[in-house]
Amino acid sequence: MIVSAFLQELRSRDIRVWADGDQLRCTAPAGGLTPELRDQLRERKTDIVQFLRSAQTLALQQRAIVPLQPQGTRAPIFGVPGHNGDVFCYRFLAQQLGDDQPFFGLQPPGVDGQREPLTSIEDLAAYFAAQILAYRPDTPYVITGYCAGGTIAFELARQLLEQGATIHFVALFTSPYPTVYRPGSQLRQRVADKVERVNAHARALLSRSNGERREYIAQRLRDWKARRNAPPAAPDPVEALRAKVQAATIVGLRRYAPRHFDGRLSLFLPNKGWLHTGSPMLRWRRVARETEQYVGPDSCHGDLMLLEPHVPVIADLFRGGRDAAERQLLPSPL
Amino acid sequence: MAMKALSRIRDAFEVDLPLGNLFEHPTIAGLAEVIDQLAWVANANPPASDAAEREEFAL
């Protein structure tokens, strides 16, 4: 009989066991612990104590922390995912950074369907900070944020710094300043997207002959009708949970006002098109003591930044920034 | 895929298995052990009989 089944058998007889250091203790109704059961407990003591200790450790584990690449000796990276809470957005970057770079994703409450999502950036950051400090109390950290998760990463780094933690590097990947998520900005963005689509169609029509234009319009109409008549996709419970987390995070982003961060922020922009004045990714410069920019290749767009084929380039930029930041933090030679 | 697997494990075994455990215990045997341990913790409840009528042992 395996340990769990044996313990279940004891429980059904109202016999309770627990580990107390190396000792196995138990309490039973008077006369309930028969000599046979006592012999079995003695024989299996080591396995039972180990089972109970592991169970206790699991009960207290930091459930937000997902070890994407747990090996290595460098300061661990804790990565906040985008607003849907999908930590796998970092899987290729974790692979690219190699075996000596521990990389942990931070999963917000709600993605697992066991808890309600949080609607405050400060609360999300505090939840992650507590989990990180419990999981790795004594180490310097690297904090990253992807897309909307950049705002949570910013607040997380700020809170960790306030609590006396050492942070080697804070990297925000394609992360706009949170005012972008306010309704006015969202509306402006939607209008800009529509205008860009109209312009793209106009350019396409202008570059074609009359006959080709008719075919182009007919094809767009066929595509539109196909989309409209397509049967609705079967509901996906995982996507439904992510959508709920996404909605809660957007509520938090709209309310959040970043406070001063007394450290350096490293901003990773998809391409140099984002370097213009007024770029929502550069507005972080207002609230950090120091910032620096890293820019991806021209063909890289925000959604693709941490995916192939761009992720090797982004990983190289990240390594360069991380290593330079770590060298600066080393004590200077006498 | 991992999230779907996790969701089905939760439904089948009625345990609150965190995503991180899938990575820490990537074999079926390892995961089965974790599920057993989580189920043990989840079903913990106080003894049914009165404390005065119970005996305590240390091994």
pLDDT of A71-116, one tens digit each?
999 999 999 999 889 999 999 999 999 999 999 999 999 988 888 9
For A14, which of B21, B47, B56 is closest by C-beta distance?
B47
**Spatial separation of the C-alpha atoms in residues A252 and A164, rounded to whole Å:** 25
Query: What residues in A contact B23, CB-CB < 8 Å?
Result: 66-68, 70
pLDDT of A321-331, one tens digit each?
999 999 887 76
**Does residue A334 carry a pLDDT above 60?**
no
Among the residue ranges A6-10, A183-187, A244-248, B27-31, the one predicted with the least confidence is: A183-187
The residue that leads in pLDDT, A93 or A187, is A93
Query: What residues in A contact B14, CB-CB < 8 Å?
Result: none
pLDDT of A289-316, one tens digit each?
999 999 999 999 878 899 999 999 999 9
Residues 81-110 of A with CB under 8 A from B: 87-88, 107
The residue that leads in pLDDT, A185 or A223, is A223
pLDDT score recorded for residue A74? 95
B19 touches A: beta carbon within 8 Å = yes
Query: What's the distance, CA A38 to chain centroid?
Result: 48
Look at B56 and A26 and tell me if their CB atoms are within 8 Å: yes
pLDDT score recorded for residue A333? 60
pLDDT score recorded for residue A259? 96
Q: Indicate the burial class of A210 (C-beta count within 10 angstroms; 0-12, 13-18, 19 or more).
A: exposed
Question: Nearest C-alpha of chain A: how many angstroms from B5?
Answer: 10
A286 touches B: beta carbon within 8 Å = no
pLDDT score recorded for residue A332? 59
Mean pLDDT of the region A168-187: 92
**Spatial separation of the C-alpha atoms in residues A95 and B42, rounded to whole Å:** 35
Percent of all residues in chain A with a pLDDT value above 70, rounded to a whole number: 99
**Spatial separation of the C-alpha atoms in residues B37 and A260, rounded to whole Å:** 44
pLDDT score recorded for residue B15? 85
Q: Are A261 and A286 in contact (CB under 8 A)?
A: no
Q: Give the containing element (helix H, strand E) for B56.
A: strand B54-58
pLDDT score recorded for residue A165? 95
Q: Are A170 and A157 in contact (CB under 8 A)?
A: yes
**Does residue A57 carry a pLDDT above 70?**
yes
For A65, which of B20, B47, B54 is closest by C-beta distance?
B20
Residues 206-265 of A with CB under 8 A from B: 237-238
Instruction: Kindly indicate whether the ipTM for this predicted assembly is greater than 0.85, answering yes or no.
Output: no
pLDDT interval class at A190 (50, 70, 90): confident
Query: What residues in B contact A112, CB-CB < 8 Å?
Result: 6, 10, 16, 18-19
Which residue does chain A place closest to B38, by CA atoms? A55
**Spatial separation of the C-alpha atoms in residues B6 and B30, rounded to whole Å:** 15
Q: Which among A24, A44, A112 is the top mutation candidate for probing chain B, defined by the most B β-carbons within 10 Å of its own β-carbon?
A: A112
| Nearest residue to A263 (alpha-carbon basis) of A224, A232, A299, A289 | A289
A24 touches B: beta carbon within 8 Å = yes
